[in-house]
Amino acid sequence: MMELRYRSGGVPTGESLIPVPGRQQRKLAVRADPASGGKRKRRRDEFSGHTREAHEVNEADELAGEDGTFEVAAILAKRRRTMYIQGIQIPGLTVPKSMYRNWIPPLPISDEKAVLKDFLGGEDARKALRIELGEDVFTAVSLDCFSIYRPHKLAAPHRKNGQVYEMKFANEFVSLHDISLKPDRDVWYLDGVLHDGRRRTYVQRVPFNLLSIGGYENFTQHTVRSHIWLQSVCGQKHDVWYCLENPSSEYRRYYDAFLWLADFAKHLIDFMYNNDTISLKMLRANFYNWLQEVHGHDLAFQQWLAEYPDSDFRCVAAAHPQFLYNEARQLGPGYALHPIWGEVHTKMLNAVPNQEPQEKKTVVTPYVYNCFKSVWGKQMELRQPSRATFRACEDRKKTMRFTVPIHHHNTMPYCLPTEERVPKVVGRSKVRVGDVVQFPNDGKIWKGKDDVWYAYVQGIDKTKDRTALQIIWLYRPSETTCSKMHYPSANELFFSDHCNCGDPKTYEDEVVGKTSVAFFESSKPSNVDYFIRQKYVGDETAFVTLKESDFQCKCQLDPDNAIYQTGDTVLVSKLVNGPAQILEPVEIVAFAPEGSKSLIRVRRLLRRGRDYGHKDAEPNELVYSRRFENVNTKDIIRRCHVRLYNKRSKERKEIPPPYCRKGTGDAFYILCKEADSNVVGNELQELEEPFQISLRQGFDPTETHPQRKLRGLDLFSGGGNFGRGLEEGGALQMEWALDWNKWAMHSYRANLQDPNRVKLFYGSANDFFAQALNGKCSDLIPQLGEVDFISAGSPCQGFSNANQRPGSDQSLRNSSMIASVASYIDLYRPAYAILENVPSMASRSHEPNENPFAQMLCTLVGMGYQVQQFVLDAWSFGNPQSRSRLFILATAPGLDTPPKPPLTHSHPERTTNRSLGQAANGHRFGERYWGPTQLDYVTIGEATADLPDNHDGRVSCIPFPDHQVTRNESTLTRIMIDHIPRFPRSQTFVKACKANQMPPIQVQTFHWESQFRAREGSRSWERVNPNALVPTVTTQCQPADSFSGAWVHWDASRCLTVMEVRRAQGFPDQDVLVGSPAEQWKLVGNGVARQVALALGLSLRQAWLANGHVYSESPATTVASEIACSDPRITPTVATRRETGVTPGRLPRSTAGPRSGVPRAKEGYAALHDVPGGKAKGRVGSSKELAIVLD
């Protein structure tokens, strides 16, 4: 064990450390900083018996994140953790040892020219070194203990101090596959030992520029390890090649990565040699099996194969396309014709044809132009549809019931005139049940200048003195979240869920008039004043189709109940033997006898990782236990999905979404059960089919459902993370996708099971829409009536808080694309649509009367859509990222709306309550949701814990090809990163300077002239905290940015890699990203968090099942019928209980006036979900207590 001494800032020093270049900062394997304020104590190691220093590290609790109201900072988990220093890890060198002063070479340095002359002195010597490979005959000398590096180059004098520094990567090691990318262009250098089998001589700084790899098109050769040659400049004159043997110890990590990639190149080229055409689809479907068939018996091949953890090699091909192409092209022009190069090679992408741009402005329909002209009139162009398109659009509106009454029954009058209602009470009442009456505006709470309010009379309570009215308030559009923006139907009112029950009584003599209203109509008939077709739900700020049951307030009705049967799996809170406010999955096994109807018997489905100590278990892996408890029905929160699999399914990665997504969407899986009672201890038994378990399993995503899936159009699709996540919910299948980015479209295609299934439009959304309006027949353009679903992650740059020029032409053009989304919805009239954007779209920072969010609501509601909106936090669904996004959901009239996705992961500490804005009654809407969850939020350290250590980002990562950086930092910058302390967490360049941790040269060359980078709270070059959420992933890695510069790795001497931000955004490891690392990062940053998309997809699935009659001729399939158990051994006993789900914090009843507008707390919510003060309770704890086993 090496003794360490500490100085200020926690940087260890020690005389016994090996001298390394200044930029090679020593890195602790396990670090702790006594200077951070933590307590120092001594502890005896119970395993080794040695006494060690231990430090309780109190991690920094500063907030970090994007500069914006809704971009929650990288909120730190403030915990005291005991850490032990066990030693140090010295990072590998990046330059050859020959560059160090006083370094002693293994042998005396020889001149290369003299060595070759000596080795090739006679004909016999030359003949002994001659090698014959097929038709090739050449002379080879072995090169051992070699290092390959770049030439020495100097940069221009620095503008700060005038000093001259090295160019980027000067004298640094380089991998051989990087050399092959620039054949015959540059000169590289090598150090090593040349030998001819008898003599060994050391040469240094030998220039070369040729690399050759042999063994291609030879199936009997399993590796190219002994067939790699270099030719120096001097060797070319003598026709001598150097055969590579073993690298030097410092160069080994570079060479090992190259060897693996060179073998992959051989196997891929052999695969091409054996097949006429190779594509990504064939690489996924056939390549692995072909490899096993040809090379499976060879030990060296099996060792090579074991280094890559998957049978799908598409990500490798996408990460190194140029090297692979160069190697293949050298063997003949036929290899350049394979389709795979047009799918992955950044300079040859042609798998998705480009559609040349034609339109200059945002093309919109007349209806949408009328709605948005006050906001983006200059950026839009009104375009009339063709006659055929217009007729088809009108037919589609009728089919989806936009232009016909949704409900028209004899039990509910079509029109309510003022004089013809039959009284339902005795007496001469002027007001009758069913009337729409007017009340004067009391001017106390509600905003607006309207003189009167409207209300529907649902009941009359007549007393001797006065007649009290039971009313339900009706809202104008301006009194909803539509705000004061332009609403297309001036004579439309909205029913509401806001009654006067519990408020001060409203009396008949306060009525100032009556109004005639037509209910269930899509437009105003000529003989009435107003029409109503939708209800505004104040608690959820949602617009839903009006139903006959809405004419009586919920206070007068029994609450909705959920029906449960034995065998159902549900989430319950406040278990007797579990910590409070944590949801636990259980199976209902029995119901209590008469007299105790509120109790049920449940089987605990325990967490394999938490409760049994299996560290490799995923957080949503359960154990079918023999432990039972009684719980109250009021503690049942909602259903959950649990499926049974065997161990082989997990090992082969055959568990499908959502069950393989670590708990997102309330999805769990079981691989084992507790042993029988006669077995001692907590031994677990693996499950084997057929599963002899009474549990009613969740839906099987691999089965074909009798209902037709929704046909989707993926607008602004990006790389497809949003669309694929929605598809994983099971109700949707994307059939069209559109994006203008070349790398996005090819990444989308690369991840399709069948590339021909989805029609990909690589071009402008305006060109696509213009063709659709003109009725152009094309496979890429869907016809009206074909699209059931539209998703749109429209450009957010115009609304983003990071945009420094929101009023520029480009920003306004980007912002106006939400009008394009509205036009697509107006034209195609899908059953469902989802729009995603940044929450600042609803910010007050916009100009007065220019609220794009409210105008979008006006536009969709004006079409007749049911509309919901909410902000979803990525961390609440398992993403380790402080990303919040606004979602607007539109549902066609009369269809069931998707429920809001329930939270599955806890809020980090210090999460505050936020909202989208303020309603007309002064109360906030779109607030963050709170409530108990079943899982802990995921930190970025936890999400990336399995990634290999890539401490400087200079070497390719074999198991994870995208584990590479996007920035090539200069030597000065890397020295600066090395000197930013690891502890306390979240250290920045400015903090390091104030703590005297930065070398003078770094301080001198920093951009101090920037007031933002130099300020006290600057986040420029900030290290990410591994025990917190990573900041919102943007489209670029910009560590120097003073506001969003937290991209430096918490422990390594580099910025985050593409793979690490992929994990932050939830991209599955198997997904392929096409493009350079910088383009891949951009694709990741532009996407929607995968777990959020999956949660929305599962909510969509519930609505899709409820509307089964719309998509299938067979009887409608409900959620209850889908999970119904067919096992005759189970008695279908039924329990009823209202399923609460997750709800925002509720407000108390108000006595401020007759129309306070404050939603009343629904029964059963407050005690379970309200969080005092709007603060999170902190991370979910763990429980290792288990209930007793009941025989």
pTM: 0.85
- Dihedral, CA of residue 567, residue 656, residue 729 and residue 1170, to nearest 10: 60
Q: Measured in whole angstroms, how far is the alpha carbon of residue 591 from the centre of its chain?
A: 40
Concatenated DSSP letters of 740-752? S-HHHHHHHHHT-
Which positions ≥6 away from 706 have C-beta within 8 Å? 1112, 1114, 1117
Return phi, psi of residue 581, to 5°.
65, 25
Strand partners, 924: 918
Query: How do strand 1134-1137 and strand 562-565 relate by DSSP bridges?
Result: antiparallel
Amino acid occupying residue 953: G
Number of residues assigned to the chain: 1191
User: Do residues 643 and 669 touch, judged by C-beta distance below 8 A?
Assistant: yes
Half-sphere exposure of 1181 (CA within 13 A, CB side): 9
Catalytic residue among 315, 371, 796, 993: 796
| Single-letter code of the amino acid located at 971 | T
Closest CA to 611 of 627, 628, 626, 623: 623
Q: Which residues pair with 439 in a beta bridge?
A: 453
Contacts of 491 by beta carbon, 8 Å cutoff, 6+ apart: 524, 529, 530, 531
Distance, CA of 518 to CA of 526 (rounded, Å):
10
CA distance 39 to 50: 20
Largest CA distance in the chain: 130
- Please state, in angstroms and rounded to a whole number, the distance separating the CA atoms of residues 793 and 746: 18
DSSP letter string, 570-603: EEESS-TTS-TTB-EEEEEEEEPPTT-TTEEEEE
Select 710-937's CATH number: 2.60.120.10, 3.40.50.970, 3.40.50.150, 3.40.50.460.
Answer: 3.40.50.150
Who's near 656: CB < 8 A, 6+ residues apart?
701, 702
| Beta-bridge mates of residue 599 | 632
Would you call the peptide bond into 488 cis, given omega within 30 degrees of 0 as the criterion?
no
pLDDT for 464: 78
1172 exposed, middle or buried (CB, 10 Å; 0-12, 13-18, 19+)?
Answer: exposed
Q: Is 796 among the residues known to form the active site?
A: yes
Q: Is the dihedral of CA 1092, 1097, 1100, 1105 positive or negative?
A: negative
The residue written with tokens 């408020």 in the block is: 503
Q: Which residues does 1052 contact at the CB level (< 8 Å), separation at least 6? A: 27, 949, 950, 951, 952, 953
Q: Which two tokens stand for residue 4?
A: 């360490």
Domain ranges of the chain: 109-344, 435-550, 568-686, 710-937
Backbone angles phi, psi at 333, to 5 degrees: -65, -20
Distance from C-alpha of 518 to C-alpha of 512, rounded to nearest angstrom: 20
**Spans of the chain below 70 pLDDT:** 1-86, 154-166, 182-185, 406-429, 443-450, 558-560, 575-580, 593-597, 677-682, 795-811, 843-849, 920-922, 1009, 1109-1191
- Three-state secondary structure string covering 229-262: EEEEHHHHHHCEEEEECCECCCCHHHHHHHHHHH
Q: Are 188 and 150 contacting, i.e. CB atoms less than 8 angstroms apart?
A: yes
CATH fold, domain 568-686, is: SH3 type barrels. (2.30.30)
Measure the CA–CA gap between 525 and 529, rounded to whole angstroms: 8
pLDDT for res 621:
97
Task: Please identify which residue in the block is written with the tokens 């079509």.
Answer: 414
For 500, the token pair is 């006067």
Residue for token digits 């325990």? 606
Enter the tokens of residue 644. 């049974």
The encoded tokens of residue 469 equal 């009215």
d(Cα 962, Cα 945) in Å, to the nearest integer? 15
d(C-alpha 669, C-alpha 662), whole Å: 9
Phi, psi of 227 (to 5 degrees): -130, 45
| Burial class of residue 43 (count of CB atoms within 10 Å of its CB; 0-12, 13-18, 19+) | exposed
Beta strands per DSSP E along 59-135:
80-84, 88-89, 130-133
* DSSP structure class, residue 727: H
d(CA 203, CA 230): 14
Q: How far apart are CA 884 and CA 70, in angstroms?
A: 6
CA distance linking residue 641 with residue 659, whole number of Å: 8
- Token pair recorded at residue 1168: 């379970």
CA pair distance 639, 350, nearest whole angstrom: 47
Q: Is the peptide bond before 34 cis (omega within 30 degrees of 0)?
A: no
How high is the pLDDT of residue 23?
Answer: 35
How would you class 399 by CB atoms within 10 Å of its CB: exposed for 0-12, middle for 13-18, buried for 19 or more?
middle
Give the other-Cβ count within 10 Å of 420's Cβ: 10
Q: Residue 512 CB: number of other CB atoms within 10 A?
A: 12
Name 383's Cβ contacts closer than 8 Å, sequence gap at least 6. 363, 364, 365, 769, 770, 773
**Which tokens go with 682?**
């907590």
| Domains 435-550 and 568-686 in one fold | yes
CA angle 913, 919, 922 (to 5 degrees): 80
Q: What topology does CATH give the domain 435-550? A: SH3 type barrels. (2.30.30)
The answer to whether 57 touches 986, Cβ cutoff 8 Å, is no
Residue 709: which of 727, 725, 722 has the closest Cα? 727
